Amino acid sequence: MSIFGSKESVKDKKSLVIYFSRADENYAVGNIEKGNTEVIAEYIQDITGADLFKVEPAKPFSKNYRECCREAMEEQRQNARPVLKKYLEDISNYEVIYIGAPIYCGTMPMCMFTQLEKLDFAGKIIKVFTTHEGSGLGNVVSDVKKICRGAKVLDSLAIRGSMVYESKEKVKDWIK
């Protein structure tokens, strides 16, 4: 049976979380040791047993919030595809791919574009999640749909960055 026709829930399928997250100085919650999106990625791993792949630009963003914003805006202006520390090359073993990112200036940081464009998403199930401070999902779902051709994008989840530690139940409900 096609994976799209299956009666199993997504939580029964072999899944992977591809995400970006930045610790250091944060917009809402001061200096943090673990990024907000990473907290959600680890909830998903805990709930589903998913594998995690963290997207890391070869040149990390500044630890300083304002400087990081400047860098992110410049990357977006240039429609850059930053070089990554390592690349995920093959997702053929996975049926469900969770794609997670903080909202940077309305969408994902450009390093997520670098990684997603390298992969073949045909036939995959995608669930998008974001953390943000007001923009919700921003343009992430439409950008993911443009890049990840041939995938079925299911309902998405947006969580306020400052609320991630109170959001595990929300994540559980969403995964069901």
Q: Measure the CA–CA gap between 26 and 16, rounded to whole angstroms.
A: 26
Residues 115 and 110: their CA atoms lie apart, in Å, by: 9
135 scored as a contact of ligand FMN (CB under 6 A): yes
Return the residues of window 44-63 that contact ligand FMN according to CB under 6 A.
none
Asked if 157 is part of the footprint of ligand FMN (rule: CB under 6 A), the reply reads no
* CB nearer ligand FMN, residue 57 or residue 102: 102
d(CA 167, CA 176) in angstroms, rounded, equals 15
By CB under 6 A, which span of 7-15, 68-76, 86-94, 112-120 interacts with ligand FMN? Answer: 68-76
| Member of 106, 146, 163, 165 binding ligand FMN (CB under 6 A) | 106
For ligand FMN, give the closer residue by CB, 3 or 28.
28
Under the criterion CB under 6 A, does residue 24 sit at the interface with ligand FMN? no
Using CB under 6 A, pick the residue from 47, 69, 88, 91 that binds ligand FMN. Answer: 69
* Tally of helices (H runs) and strands (E runs) in the chain: 5, 8
Q: Is 49 helix (H, G, I), strand (E, B) or coil?
A: coil
Best CA proximity match to 134, nearest among 161, 154, 99: 161
Give percent helix, percent strand, percent coil of the chain, each to the nearest 5.
Answer: 35, 25, 45
| Residue numbers at the binding site for ligand FMN (CB under 6 A) | 21-22, 26-28, 35-38, 65, 68-69, 72, 102-106, 131-135, 161
